[in-house]
């Protein structure tokens, strides 16, 4: 039975989610906190430091005792300055009552001071040297804590910076660094095996771009991945799946899923329990399959994509990238938007047509190449996927289309 795009999205996502959950039960890996850290935390990461590590100024201005300015509501208060406090001062001199200290953004608030008044809210009455001596006039009182970033307001030493399961994106790496965390326990990365099928790939008559494209996508997501090529031989494919299943969490095949006589993937897998092979209502990428390979201890999901290069790319974006990205702790959805078409198009009834496009500087969308599934160069020149709904058969220039950003 054929499926809608949403139905197949859900089935593939559920299979990969189960595989990802099983993988998290394996022993976590200790990793240094450094650029390139990806995945999800296997255990809470505990801060070694207070963040911020000291009370510091939110503004360029003057550190003050709020009590000194209490009467400024009735009349201006003029106070002398002492030495400047700048970012990097390890131990600023305590601030005496009746004095103020010029202070820079991020600099430590001197002991005794409890507020900062921005420089633009003051008037210099007398000018003195950098080390102090100027007289500054204040025309309004200030509440304690104003423009002071208090120590530990982001996180305290001993508290969790990030909880177990948190994705390790760049902002997370930065947070761990400022909290003094040097290593973290990371859930093991999902292991992906890519299997391209076809005698034409073995002979070299057709370059094997599919496995390399999928391998590049997997590496971009921070996943462990291997690539393999087999001919249209059921015994060889079965033997390869037997070898791969104990070593991997998800297997992705390309080619061999249609209804022809040499569709090796379908031949080998369609009799497996719960296997499904049919069409999804999408162009390109209609022939799809989903099955499992039992290695004795578990059933490894096998996501079966068609063989044409653009069909593989589109299928990856629709069905594989979102659940794989979630498993890797990455953003699972591409940036999306809408814009007017620069030229007309036609689309098959009852199928989601996925065209390649370019976003112009005026916000309009121009198409790149034809709708065929055999044009990988055109795909590489595009920065958008243009999505034409199943119930739309034609669009004119100027009609609004939805797009996903892919580059």
pLDDT digits (tens, 9 = 90+) for 166-207: 999 999 999 999 999 999 999 999 999 999 999 999 999 999
Place of tokens 């939805």: 402
Q: What stretch of H or E contains 237?
A: helix 234-244
Rg (CA), the chain: 31
Higher pLDDT, 373 or 291: 291
Dig out the tokens for 187 from the structure: 């859930």
**How does DSSP classify residue 24?**
H
* Rounded-to-integer distance, Cα 92 and Cα 168, Å: 36
Residue 42 pLDDT:
96
From 62, 73, 76, 86, select the one nearest 134 (Cα to Cα): 62
pLDDT digits (tens, 9 = 90+) for 78-95: 999 998 999 888 889 999
Residue 127 pLDDT:
62
Residue 295 pLDDT:
87
Dig out the tokens for 29 from the structure: 């890996």
pLDDT at 352 > cutoff 80: yes
SS3 18: helix
Residues in the chain: 407
* Rounded-to-integer distance, Cα 336 and Cα 322, Å: 14
User: Please, which pLDDT band fits residue 6 given cuts at 50, 70 and 90?
Assistant: very high
Provide the whole-model pTM. Answer: 0.85
Contacts of 293 (CB under 8 A, 6+ apart): 241, 242, 244, 245, 251, 269, 272, 299, 300, 302
Dig out the tokens for 139 from the structure: 């025309």
Dig out the tokens for 313 from the structure: 């790319």
């Amino acid at each position: 039975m054929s499926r809608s795009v949403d139905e197949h999205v859900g089935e593939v996502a559920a299979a990969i989610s189960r595989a990802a959950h099983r993988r998290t039960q394996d022993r976590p890996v200790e990793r240094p906190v450094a650029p390139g850290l990806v995945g999800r935390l296997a255990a809470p990461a505990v801060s070694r430091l207070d963040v911020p590590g000291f009370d510091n100024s939110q503004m360029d201005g003057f550190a003050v005792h709020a009590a000194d300015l209490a009467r400024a509501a009735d009349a201006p208060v003029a106070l002398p300055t002492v030495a400047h406090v700048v970012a990097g001062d390890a131990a600023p001199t305590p601030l005496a009552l009746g004095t103020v200290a010029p202070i820079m953004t991020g600099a430590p608030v001197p002991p005794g001071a409890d507020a900062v008044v921005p420089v633009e809210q003051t008037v210099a009455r007398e000018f003195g040297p950098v080390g102090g001596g100027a007289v500054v006039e204040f025309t309004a009182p200030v509440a304690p804590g104003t423009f002071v970033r208090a120590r530990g307001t982001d996180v305290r030493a001993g508290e969790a910076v990030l909880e177990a399961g948190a994705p390790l994106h760049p902002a997370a790496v930065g947070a761990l660094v400022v909290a003094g965390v040097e290593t973290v326990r990371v859930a093991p990365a999902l292991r992906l095996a890519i299997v391209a099928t076809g005698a034409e790939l073995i002979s070299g008559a057709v370059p094997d771009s599919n496995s390399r494209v999928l391998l590049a996508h997997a590496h971009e997501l921070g996943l462990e991945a291997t690539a393999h090529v087999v001919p249209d031989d059921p015994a060889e494919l079965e033997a390869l799946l037997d070898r791969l299943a104990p070593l991997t969490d998800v297997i992705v095949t390309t080619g061999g899923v249609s209804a022809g006589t040499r569709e090796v993937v379908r031949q080998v897998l369609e009799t497996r329990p719960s296997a499904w092979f049919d069409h999804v209502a999408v162009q390109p990428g209609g022939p799809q399959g989903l099955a499992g390979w039992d290695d004795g201890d578990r059933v490894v999901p096998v996501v079966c994509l068609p063989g044409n290069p653009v069909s593989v790319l589109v299928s990856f974006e629709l069905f594989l990238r979102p659940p794989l990205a979630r498993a890797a702790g990455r953003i699972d959805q591409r940036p999306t938007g809408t814009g007017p078409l620069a030229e007309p198009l036609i689309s098959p009834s009852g199928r989601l047509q996925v065209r390649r496009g370019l976003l112009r500087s005026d916000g309009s969308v121009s198409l790149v190449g034809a709708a065929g599934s055999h044009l990988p160069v055109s795909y590489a020149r595009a920065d958008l996927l243009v999505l034409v709904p199943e119930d739309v058969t034609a669009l004119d220039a100027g009609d609004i289309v939805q797009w996903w950003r892919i580059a």
